[in-house]
Structure 1
Amino acid sequence: MAASRGQKVAVTGGSGFVGRNLVKELSRLGKNVVVVDLTPSPEAESRIAGVEYVRADLRDYGDVLLALQGVDTVFHIAGNASGTLSVEYPRLDFQTNAVATCNVGNACLQLGVRRLVYLSSAIVYGTPQYVPMTEEHPTSPFLPYGASKLSGEFSLLSLEATADLPVVIGRSFVIYGPGEDPRTAGGEVSQFLRWHLNERKIPVVGDIDRKTRDFIHVFDLCAALIKLAEVGQSGEIYNLGSGQEVSMRELADTIGAATGRKAVLEPDESQLEDSFRLVADTSKLFSLGFKPSIPLQEGIRYLASDLGEFPELPTTAAKFRRDSQDEQYAAKG
């Protein structure tokens, strides 16, 4: 990928949080970028200069084939990224993650794409059995989101094993940075900071000391994805994280240090399903020559500046069970 500045690169989900940041970086590197998305930034002011935008429903195989014509490298970022949404609408989650990923993989194989990079998630591991978690950690997801992302992995790896699909998989840990939508983003950094910048206590689900996470800035995540495209080994899985463990209490302290004002937590321990240590063993990724460049406090300071005073408050709540067993998601399926 690094050899040709002008090669054609597609980013599915390129209008979303991770996708848009990745498109900007690929464009800066001189790539000819195609954004493939269900809602590909229709507003002219939101488009990135020199980038082509193609509307496609990745659940439709014909759409995928047309959208990826003539592409050398595909970054498959699109899909549902909300565990809460997957609990409420599991069929929709499976279609947008598992089915769409199967379609993308088969289209890349049929079209002779030279490299496919799939952004999966550490949620496929389920409850950690040891920390830090290597890529060999057992996979036992407890959310439909984790199951759909893992299904996507299996689909692509089966094509790699049986038909030599040139795919590399990255399992992201908790991503944060500019461009997250507060209506859908569930990551603690963005949520905590938005509450804090509005001069409110920070509601946090779970045990603030037992619940730890590995946070990676979206700029570093994009650099890691590009590194996988360049030198990642086909058929391999790589953890995408910082390798640094941070508790919810430590995150609040870091936010306070970055903003110059103490952050106050308001714990809710009525739900403890995700009060565990979620930390990546990043040695496999780092062996490719990648190292994160943005420390957490610096990333938070940058994000606080980007958000400004009194940003929109987050509205996504952690949800592990549906309130009703009604087929409330049928209309969306």
Structure 2
Amino acid sequence: MPRVTASGFELADGPVLVTGAAGFVARFLMEELRMGPGDIATDMTTDFTVPDGVTRVAWTLPSPPPVDLADVAFVVHLAAMTSVARSHGAALDYYHANAMGTVSLVDSLLEASSAARLLFVSSADVYGSVEGAIRESCPPNPASPYAGSKAAAEIAVLQAHRSAGLDAVIARPFPHFGPGQAPHFALPSFCRRVIEAAAAGAGSVKGGNLSAVRDYTYVSDVASAYSAILAAGASGEVYNVASGRGRTMGEVLEAVIGISGVRLEIETDPGLMRQADIASQVGDPSRLAELGWRPVVDFHEGLSRLYDWWRRSR
């Protein structure tokens, strides 16, 4: 019997393995894929929550796999170091974890003669800064060690597909957000700062580069996009995961202030500026839409959910 995901996409029967299962998106993806008995979730430790019946396994790439990959039908590779800002001072660590970790996983799949389909989750940061809607054909132009490590990992995946027949698809997610996201990312940081400013009776809140344009998608829609690519993506192809709508970070911060119901002025803080920041990053989701994917959660609804989560978590 095929596995039907929460969004209605059909996967062939067989176990699913997710790396980076303790991460932000993984919790939503495991629910989207309706993971259960026979499925495997891996991370550096086993101290994370999984759906009932899912086996938790400690696995730190690029070490050898602790499970038999020959028996797995689908692998979703989420495990990565993800902070763009922190990557500028830790390039070697990022290439080791993100690029070499992916090379190790690919080699392990090939050595096991696994017929598994691999979904490698890359990043829209590989594009760098591009004016207008970015299509998958846009050449990579990474502006950070994080982005460079993801671009290098993509090359390894595509090389294995072309030369060794690995069944692999690549997702390039644009910025996404939702409850549980780490506080160093922009939208959780905005929510935290606004909540703290409101609680302190401050008249202002600080932001960094507020002219930068970003394309945000809510996390559950990102999870459903991954299931669409896993189920129906063409092997060897790349798919943007994006809404197609860009907003300046100033507009996003204004929206958070609006949700708070408190009057706050916005101050630009040079200390919050990113090194080599990307001016514009808006994706064209047309190729993904051809697989039957559509976003469900409106941006402002998703932002309200994130704000409420942070308010309750204080």
- Give the TM-score normalised by the residue count of structure 1: 0.83
In structure 1, the residue matched to 2:308 is 305
Deviating more after overlay: 31-40 vs 81-90? 31-40
Q: Report the AA paired with residue 74 of structure 1.
A: V
In structure 2, the residue matched to 1:36 is 42
Distance 1:275 1:268 in 2: 17
| 8 Å contact kept, 2:190–2:253 | yes
Distance 2:85 2:231 in 1: 33
Is the counterpart of residue 78 in structure 1 residue 79 in structure 2? yes
Q: Report the AA paired with residue 22 of structure 2.
A: S
Q: Report the AA paired with residue 27 of structure 2.
A: R
| 8 Å contact kept, 1:170–1:239 | yes
Distance 2:285 2:37 in 1: 27
Is the counterpart of residue 194 in structure 1 residue 165 in structure 2? no
What do residues 89-123 of structure 1 show as CA deviations (whole Å, max 9, x unaligned)? 11111111000101111222333133110110011
Distance 2:247 2:159 in 1: 35
Q: Report the AA paired with residue 190 of structure 2.
A: F
| 8 Å contact kept, 1:72–1:114 | yes
Q: Report the AA paired with residue 45 of structure 2.
A: T
In structure 1, the residue matched to 2:121 is 119
Distance verdict in 2 for CA 1:105–1:275, change over 3 Å = closer
In structure 2, the residue matched to 1:320 is none
1:29-108 pair list within 5 angstroms: 32-41=38-47, 46-60=49-63, 62=64, 64=65, 66=67, 68-108=69-109
Q: 1:35: Cα distance to partner?
A: 0.8
SS at match of 2:71: coil
| 8 Å contact kept, 1:177–1:217 | yes
Distance 1:212 1:191 in 2: 17
Deviating more after overlay: 256-265 vs 12-21? 256-265
Deviating more after overlay: 100-109 vs 73-82? 100-109
Distance 2:160 2:138 in 1: 22
- Give the TM-score normalised by the residue count of structure 2: 0.88
Q: Report the AA paired with residue 165 of structure 1.
A: L
Distance verdict in 2 for CA 1:6–1:307, change over 3 Å = farther
Q: 1:69: Cα distance to partner?
A: 4.8
| 8 Å contact kept, 1:176–1:189 | yes
Distance 2:97 2:141 in 1: 20
| 8 Å contact kept, 2:11–2:231 | no
Distance verdict in 2 for CA 1:263–1:282, change over 3 Å = farther
| 8 Å contact kept, 2:126–2:142 | yes
In structure 1, the residue matched to 2:261 is 260
Task: Give unpaired runs (5+ residues) of structure 1.
Answer: 312-333
How many residue pairs end up in the alignment?
299
Q: 1:4: Cα distance to partner?
A: 5.8
Q: 1:250: Cα distance to partner?
A: 1.3
Percent of matched pairs sharing the same residue? 29
Is the counterpart of residue 7 in structure 1 residue 14 in structure 2? yes
| 8 Å contact kept, 1:245–1:279 | yes
